[in-house]
Structure 1
Amino acid sequence: MGIYLSSPKTEKFSEDGENVRVRYGLSSMQGWRAAMEDAHAAITDLDASTSFFGVYDGHGGKVVAKFCAKYLHQQVLKHEAYQQGDIGTSVQKAFFRMDEMMRGQRGWRELAALGDRLNKFSGMIEGLIWSPRNGDGNGNTDDWAFEEGPHSDFPGPTSGCTSCVAIIRENQLIVANAGDSRCVISRKSQAYNLSRDHKPDLEIERERILKAGGFIHAGRVNGSLNLARAIGDMEFKQNKFLPAEKQIVTADPDINTVDLCDDDDFIVLACDGVWDCMSSQQLVDFIHEQLKSESKLSAVCERVLDRCLAPTAGGEGCDNMTMILVQIKKPVPSGASPSDEPLASPDDEPSASSEKLPSSDDVIAETKPAECGSSS
């Protein structure tokens, strides 16, 4: 849904970056939508051994996506679990922390600072897209102390965003996702989904929604939101008798940890504006074809967005689009060479290590990658 322009805005925000471990390119485009509600973060050096990439797809407003692009990676870095090497726990806590930080006077003030318009009747805050330049703001945050003020009882924004992040440390990739943005890895030119789309009709989502007192109508939570997990959307998180992970809509991310190896070609993160138009395998195939003649990764992303853009307003190809393409720059050290065994079939149990790997009934991926160097 949404209001469409009479002609699409095809100007793109594009960026490339690299360090000794990775190189990336990204691009975002407003398209036919009346406003740009996507945001992203690309931090090649979250610390000396870690890179962070995130795509945030806003709905009902822009600032929650902007807020996450500015603060989520900072909270990952700050959490004590991160200092102990537990990236999965630190990123999960960071997702929940976004909802906490957007409440109260301080949350209201920060959201207002990121926006350029505040509707005093609905409490909706709007603003321009936030895309932090690589390396900006990845230091320690302050304590986010409680502030007194006229908005001390602010419950948080009614708008929200999806969040799909990929964290690369040495030979591990940690993917965290809440919503329907998606992370895909190309291994030997085969696409493997490392996240699932959190739609209300998934059994595990439907069960939580109904137990929390919500309902599903026309594929939407309470007839409104077509996502079952998101950051923000505080109107769906008001049950004081339930923890954050059991609310009608939750920010609780799936966490998937995968061992990287020399067979891995690249990683893609993109919002649903891209996945609505291309399947995971179609996108992987298209990228491989483009890389034969184009070495600039942001240019490849731009070609994807142009290919997905609808010729007329309405339907698929009319959403905002954001895509990040990441290549591992050097071969990943490994104690064993990659196996010649075929990758897991759709019915196999996942062999990649995972703290919260979705069940095979819920994963949208046709197949899942086997562990590097695995053998029967």
Structure 2
Amino acid sequence: MTFKKRKRPPALSISNDMRTHVSGMQMKLATERELEDASLAEEVTVVEGRTFALSSKRGNRRFSCEDAYQAAPGLDGDPTRGIFSVFDGHGGREAADYAADNLHDNILREVNDVGSHLDPDEFMKQVKAAMIKGFLATDQEFLSFGDLRGGATATTAYLCKGRIWVANVGDCRAVICQGGQAVALTHDHRPDCAVEREAVERRGGEIVRERVQGILGVSRALGDRELKSYITAEPSVFCGTISESSEFLILGTDGLWDHVDNQEAVEFVRLTLSQKKGIHAACRGLVELARANRSRDDISVLVVELCSYQASGLI
């Protein structure tokens, strides 16, 4: 189902719509009054579903939030399938909005062409390739619109029948709680990483003050047409299984991860859930923790509980 966009306070440009492929899902959308109150507090909790929640806060150096998100649990009525993303725009929010509107469709179009009859290793490999194709297609589409500017980092998690794939470009990060331990499923694509620096230089670019051409602080991103010769939109992709010890997944923009380390975030969410406060409170609390740790950037946090995505029988 698709939810209509609600009118939002002009100072806060976070998206308040969600596209999902499941009917009858329980969720809570922010009301007009909540959005107005959130605008005053620079925060809005956009949506809470049965297995996930998201909270976002505008950075205090900006007039609008450049983060975006997309969430689709229970794909095609299957509770063991879902896809979730967070996006962090730069140079405006056009690229983040475009990716939020189109990336999932592009990925799922490719994923749905992967045959379920394949052996497990080949299935994992082909879904990984499908996610890469989805990212590259989204990037090419965005660039084909000459009037769209800016870029976006992104992290997308696709869950299917006890397996998980996580693709990322840039420094949005995915961290899974595995038996109480934080395990990063992504690598930040920043120019201070030797591998990323060398890749930029092979394309003819240079790193100045830890930025591509002295401008961009990430080495992979969607969009950024002026720097596309030097960076790529091809994501790194993690593939793994969701076991009984897999508790929850945290997707966050760099406004979170630059100020809260992986284990600290996992322990905070575990404590909040153990106190029966729910994932809504866990997301909001992580945002507030990052702000208390002096994050001045936009902060977006999406937490997915993984119990529903475990499966006893794998393909």
TM-score (norm 1): 0.66
Give the unaligned 5+ runs of structure 2: 1-38, 117-125
Displacement, 1:25? 1.1
Residue 9 of structure 1: how far off its partner (Å): 4.4
**How far, CA to CA, are the matches of 1:260 and 1:307 in structure 2?**
27
* Deviation string, structure 1 residues 11-51 (Cα, Å, up to 9, x no partner): 21332113xxxx11111111313120000001013334420
Please give the residue correspondences for 1:63-82 in structure 2 after superposition, counting only pairs within 5 Å: 63-79=94-110, 82=113
How far apart are 1:334 and its partner, in Å?
3.9
CA distance 1:64–1:335, change in 2 (3 Å)? closer
Match of 1:291 in 2: 273
1:28 and 2:10 correspond: no
Deviation readout 1:292-312 (Å, 9 max, x if unpaired): 22342122101111121148x
Q: 2:304 aligns with which of 304, 326, 341?
A: 326
Once the two structures are TM-superposed, the CA of residue 228 in structure 1 deviates from its matched residue by: 0.4
- The aligned residue for residue 187 of structure 1 is 178
CA distance in 2, matches of 1:303, 1:234: 36
Secondary structure of the residue that 1:177 maps to in structure 2?
Answer: strand
C-alpha distance in structure 1 between counterparts of 2:306 and 2:97, whole Å: 27
Q: State the SS of the aligned residue for 2:195.
A: helix
| Residue 268 (structure 1) aligned with residue 250 (structure 2) | yes
Structure 1 residue 41 and structure 2 residue 32: aligned? Answer: no
Equivalent residue of 1:33, what SS? coil
Aligned-residue sequence identity (percent) comes to 31
Cα offset, 1:213, TM superposition: 0.9
Amino acid at match of 1:319: D
C-alpha RMSD over aligned residues: 2.1
Shift of 1:157: 3.9
Measure, in 2, the Cα distance between the counterparts of 1:318 and 1:8. Answer: 16
For structure 1, which runs of at least 5 residues remain unmatched after alignment? 1-6, 108-153, 239-247, 337-376
| Equivalent-residue separation in structure 2 for 1:26 and 1:207 (angstroms) | 35
The verdict on how the C-alpha distance between 1:275 and 1:310 changes in structure 2, with shifts beyond 3 A counting, is same
Give the Cα–Cα distance (whole angstroms) in 1 for the partners of residues 185 and 308 of structure 2: 21
TM alignment of 1:94-113, pairs within 5 A: 94-104=134-144, 107=145
* Distance in 2, Cα, partners of 1:331 & 1:164: 18
Q: Structure 1 residue 207: deviation in Å?
A: 1.2
User: How much does 1:80 deviate?
Assistant: 6.5
User: How big is the shift at 1:165?
Assistant: 0.6
Q: Could you report, residue by residue, the CA deviation over 1:268-316 in whole angstroms, capped at 9, with x for unpaired residues?
A: 10000000111000100111111122342122101111121148xxxx4
In structure 2, the partner of 1:178 is: 169
Matches of 1:16 and 1:236, distance apart in 2: 36
Residue 120 (structure 2) pairs with residue 92 (structure 1)? no
Runs of 4+ displaced beyond 6 Å: none
Aligned residue pair count: 264
- The answer to which structure has the higher helix fraction is 2
* Whole-Å separation in 1 of the counterparts to 2:143 and 2:274: 48
Give the number of the structure whose alpha-carbon radius of gyration is greater. Answer: 1
CA contact (8 A) 2:166 2:237 kept: yes
Q: Which residue of 1 is the match for residue 195 of structure 2?
A: 204
Amino acid at match of 1:25: A
Q: How does 1:1-376 map to 2 (within 5 A)?
A: 9-18=41-50, 23-34=51-62, 35-49=64-78, 50-79=81-110, 82-84=113-115, 86-104=126-144, 107=145, 154=146, 157-238=148-229, 248-310=230-292, 316-330=294-308, 332-334=310-312
Contact 2:247/2:307 (CA < 8 Å) preserved in 1? no
